[in-house]
Amino acid sequence: MNATPDATTGTPAAGTGKLPIVLIHGLWMTPASWETWAERFRAAGHEVIVPGWPGIDDRSVQDVRSNPEPLKGIGLKQIADHYERIIRTLPVKPIIMGHSFGGVLTQMLADRGLGAAYVAVAPGQTAGITTLPASTLRTGFPILSNPFGRNGAKPISKAHFHFTFGNDLPRAASDALWEQFAVPSYNRVFFEGVASVPNEKGGVTHVDYARADRAPLLVITGGIDHVVPPAIGKAIVKKYTASGSPAVVEYKEYDGRTHRLVSQPGWEEIADHALTWATTHATIAA
């Protein structure tokens, strides 16, 4: 790392470097889904850490597909604890960015005070966010329709991948992305996420929306996202702002973007905005 920690602020001392960035992937994905943003941020001088969820770790897509056993029974708290252990080894608080369920985990880590700034890209609902569009329900149906598979690891079909990730593409192009990126689900994560929606105080994804000392948070959505439509992103931001907390929470929506905000053509604009916003607000907060 090229940054010297400032013991008072927990951020790099003036002129000595840039904040590290931790990227958290989402369900059905591996760290490979972040290759675009990770390389761009490294080129901008940041150390970028992209850990896999427990059970994925640094395994290839093909390896995870061939042996999904390590994914079974893993829940959101275990995943959040996994990232907390990694983050606490860093000499400074990093910028934390998460996509989809990684955006849920980003908010859970924000509630633990682990970052200097946070960016939730197409984030799922945390506890108490009851907005649930029909397309979001359809996203979870293949998993939620089988409660006996709660601790399983279900592959995502090419057809369902087309609906959730590739809805801007012809089917053949979406299938090519499936081959490159898709891995089985952590079924328990989906069940816990849904069970938390009506349970603001006791859900696994509980966060304190009124927390005053939370570092700045940016929520980003895509206008044609089937998984996390803008209505969900707006509801998340409204929940934070309605709490009365003075902590900074902002919203940014990109028209014509799907759930593949981190890789859909034009991703550079979103990545650059996320990085500029996070570094600027982290500096102000410090």
Q: Return the DSSP state at 147.
A: G
pLDDT tens per residue across span 74-131: 999 999 999 999 999 999 999 999 999 999 999 999 999 999 999 999 999 999 999 9
Mean pLDDT along residues 16-30: 93
Q: Where are the beta strands (DSSP E) in the chain?
A: 21-24, 48-49, 95-99, 117-121, 217-222, 249-254
pLDDT for 40: 98
Cα dihedral 56/62/68/74 (nearest 10): 20
Mean per-residue pLDDT for 24-47? 98
Nearest Cα to Cα of residue 76 among 48, 49, 109:
109
Confidence (pLDDT) at 198: 94
Residue 256 has pLDDT above 50, yes or no: yes
pLDDT digits (tens, 9 = 90+) for 122-134: 999 999 999 989 9
Q: What is 21-285's CATH topology?
A: Rossmann fold (3.40.50)
Looking at residue 145, its pLDDT comes to 87
Q: Quick one: what percent of the chain has pLDDT higher than 90?
A: 89
The arithmetic mean of pLDDT across residues 166-175, rounded, is 98
β pairing state of 21-24 and 95-99: parallel
Q: What is the rounded CA–CA span in Å between residue 226 and residue 140? A: 11
